[in-house]
């Protein structure tokens, strides 16, 4: 487990580096708190992260149902439609919407207006959820029918770097560019229900490239809290 001081140091180092890369352009830092204790997560909030992200609904409920963090709580993992009835209202944003069925259900079950992001599988990987890039604009256009959902961004998990080579690096960065282009194109439609403030892209292994490519929100677990604890 990381100490409070370590977490503070890591968050401020990230902020500093963001400033070097992005200048005055704001980039939000989300602390991804899966497998971390509530105490560790709250230290990250104290250290000034902009949001907290949880992968699993049950874990999020155990950690946050009694008292939420004072920054927005996002669901970032794949949401099975049969889990929506448990505690979707705990979250301020669902960042992993990737089907009509899930959108329909969230719209139906949400007690108030709910921010959601559309998850994009930009690498076309079979093991990942998310829409393919060409499905994104039609999906967002059709989201007008969900009167309670506000499409606040696109979210993606990039393919992992298979090796540390120039080609591999180029491949990942091309996907990031593709995401940034897609995000700008969707924003330019100006749909009132889809302001798309965020491009949520970049994790511990690739966040600096993501910020360079135009990400507005990076999601950091290991970089803030240390290596993931063993089960």
- Binding region for ligand PLP (CB under 6 A): 32, 34, 55, 76-77, 157, 203-205, 219-223
Min dist CB 206 to ligand PLP, Å, is: 9
Distance CA 225, CA 227 (A): 7
- Written as six digits, the tokens of 220 are 């950091």
Q: Which is nearer to ligand PLP, 77 or 103 (by Cβ)?
A: 77
61 vs 78, beta carbon nearer ligand PLP? 78
Pick from 100, 106, 95, 214: which is nearest to 157 by CA?
A: 95
| Nearest CA among 46, 35, 94 for reference residue 69 | 46
Q: For ligand PLP, give the closer residue by CB, 76 or 211.
A: 76
For residue 153, the minimal CB distance to ligand PLP (Å) is 13
> Do 69 and 45 contact (CB within 8 A), yes or no?
yes
Q: What is the C-alpha to C-alpha distance for residues 176 and 182, in angstroms, rounded to an integer? A: 10
Q: Structure tokens of 187?
A: 């924003």
Q: Which is nearer to ligand PLP, 107 or 204 (CB)?
A: 204
**Whole-number minimum distance, CB 151 to ligand PLP, in Å?**
18
What is the closest distance, in whole angstroms, from the C-beta atom of residue 222 to ligand PLP in the complex? 4
Nearer to ligand PLP, 128 or 173 (CB): 128
Coil, strand or helix at 69: coil
Alpha helices in 92-165 (DSSP H): 100-109, 133-142
CB of 144 to ligand PLP, least distance (A): 27
């Amino acid at each position: 487990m990381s100490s409070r001081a370590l977490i503070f140091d890591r968050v401020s180092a990230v902020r500093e580096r963001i400033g070097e890369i992005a200048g005055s352009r704001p980039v939000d830092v989300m602390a991804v708190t899966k497998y971390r204790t509530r105490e560790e997560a709250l230290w990250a909030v104290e250290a000034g992260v902009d949001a907290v992200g949880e992968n699993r609904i049950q874990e999020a409920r155990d950690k946050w149902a009694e008292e939420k963090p004072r920054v927005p709580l996002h669901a970032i993992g794949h949401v099975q439609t049969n889990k929506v009835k448990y505690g979707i209202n705990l979250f301020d944003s669902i960042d992993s919407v990737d089907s009509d069925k899930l959108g329909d259900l969230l719209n139906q079950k949400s007690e108030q207006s709910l921010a959601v992001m559309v998850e994009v599988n930009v690498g076309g990987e079979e093991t990942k959820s998310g829409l393919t890039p060409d499905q994104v604009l039609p999906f967002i256009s059709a989201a007008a029918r969900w009167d309670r959902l506000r499409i606040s961004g696109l979210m993606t998990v990039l393919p992992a770097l298979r090796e540390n080579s120039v080609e591999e690096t180029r491949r990942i960065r091309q996907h990031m560019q593709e995401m940034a282009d897609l995000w700008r194109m969707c924003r330019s439609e100006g749909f009132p229900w889809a302001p798309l403030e965020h491009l949520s892209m970049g994790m511990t292994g690739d966040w600096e490239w993501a910020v360079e490519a135009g990400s507005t929100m990076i999601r950091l677990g290991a970089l803030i809290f240390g290596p993931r604890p063993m089960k």
